[in-house]
Amino acid sequence: MKISGNTFIVTGGASGLGESTIRKIVGQGANAVVIDLNEEGAKKLSEEFGEDRVLATGSVNVTDEAQVEKALALAVEHFGTIAGAIICHGVAGAVPSIPGFGPNNALTSFQQMKFVSDINYLAVFCVAQKVVEIIMKQEPLNEEGERGIIVMVSSVAGLDGSTSAYGPSKAAVAGLVLPLAREWAPFGIRVAGIAPGYFVTPMTTNLPEEYQSMLIPNVFPKRLGLPAEFANTVSYVLENVMVNGSILRLDAGVRLTY
Ligand SMILES: NC(=O)c1ccc[n+]([C@@H]2O[C@H](COP(=O)([O-])OP(=O)(O)OC[C@H]3O[C@@H](n4cnc5c(N)ncnc54)[C@H](O)[C@@H]3O)[C@@H](O)[C@H]2O)c1
């Protein structure tokens, strides 16, 4: 699909990988709609690029179906046709006020698992499904019959069996990609996943040093990924119609062993 002239929803667009994605695709001529809890960050981006290119939708909690619907209605009202969504919102773990169990509360509790799964997994499906409901009623965007695309962000933590509750929530996102690609294929809607290794964003700012040293051996390049490298991958996935139903690891060859 062409990027220029099309409109994409970006959840988590106010920070990190989502923000970098917006900068990339708007630079390539797209319009973007920011859906994020972080109202301030979304507003800043909209002011920087202008509301005719980047729409901020206020503070939106993606775990709340009604808030997602309201934000998408604003997007349609503002830009008309929607070509897809890049679903980048997420949390690395539960908030400190939700305790774990066992010694020092260090083991994952049901409440922690539920908090992370609601945001990282169920809300990903919520946004994807509601965007697709809009897209499937629109005319195809090109002669191939392509109507739209959903890009979901998984993680190597999900594919390598690391880090409960984060890892299982990201494994679940990976598990959505092929079944949804098959379900939505009759409408010309693609679904793709990207599974990043560790990237330099606010989410990884406080990564303990021992984690960083565990990541570095046997990989090239020996550094964390840059948000622009993630955004370049999104751009490639949007443009290449043959990318469908698969999950691309973007990790410099790292395999998590903890
Ligand atoms: N940074 C990494 O190393 C890395 C690696 C693998 C996967 N990921 C995934 O990439 C995605 C982007 O992460 P990032 O590193 O840019 O993190 P980030 O913290 O910079 O951005 C996450 C964004 O999600 C938003 N968000 C969180 N909960 C929300 C909610 N309930 N409703 C609406 N918005 C919400 C936050 O406000 C924030 O703007 C996440 O899904 C993350 O799990 C990141």
User: Is 99 within a domain?
Assistant: yes
The set of catalytic residues is: 166
Least confident of 7-16, 28-37, 200-209: 200-209
User: Is 1 within a domain?
Assistant: no
Per-residue tokens: 73? 């209605």
* Beta strands 189-196; 247-250: pairing state: parallel
Task: State the distance from the centre of ligand 1 to the C-alpha of 85, rounded, in angstroms.
Answer: 15
Task: State the distance from the centre of ligand 1 to the C-alpha of 122, rounded, in angstroms.
Answer: 14
How many Å separate Cα 144 from the centre of its chain? 26
In sequence order, which residues have a C-beta less than 8 Å from that of residue 118 and are 6 or more positions away?
A: 63
pLDDT at residue 143 tops 90: yes
User: Is 130 within a domain?
Assistant: yes
Specify the CATH number for the domain of residue 38.
3.40.50.720
pLDDT digits (tens, 9 = 90+) for 93-122: 999 999 999 999 999 999 999 999 999 999
Ligand 1 pocket mutation pick from 67, 89, 152 by most atoms within 8 angstroms of CB: 89
When divided into structural domains, the chain yields a total of 1
Banded pLDDT at 178 (limits 50, 70, 90): very high
What is the mean pLDDT of the segment spanning 127-151? 98
Q: What pLDDT was estimated at residue 206?
A: 76
User: Is 158 within a domain?
Assistant: yes
User: Is 255 within a domain?
Assistant: no
Q: What pLDDT was estimated at residue 212?
A: 65
Task: State the distance from the centre of ligand 1 to the C-alpha of 143, rounded, in angstroms.
Answer: 35
CB 93 less than 6 A from any atom of ligand 1: no
Q: Which ligand 1 atom is at minimum distance from the Cα of 19?
A: 16
User: Is 254 within a domain?
Assistant: no
DSSP calls for 119-138: IIIIHHHHHHHHHHHHHTTS
- The packing angle between helices 227-239 and 16-27, to 10°, is 50
Residue 194 CA: distances (Å) to CA of 5, 88, 89, 174: 24, 10, 13, 9
Q: Note down the domain range covering 24.
A: 7-249
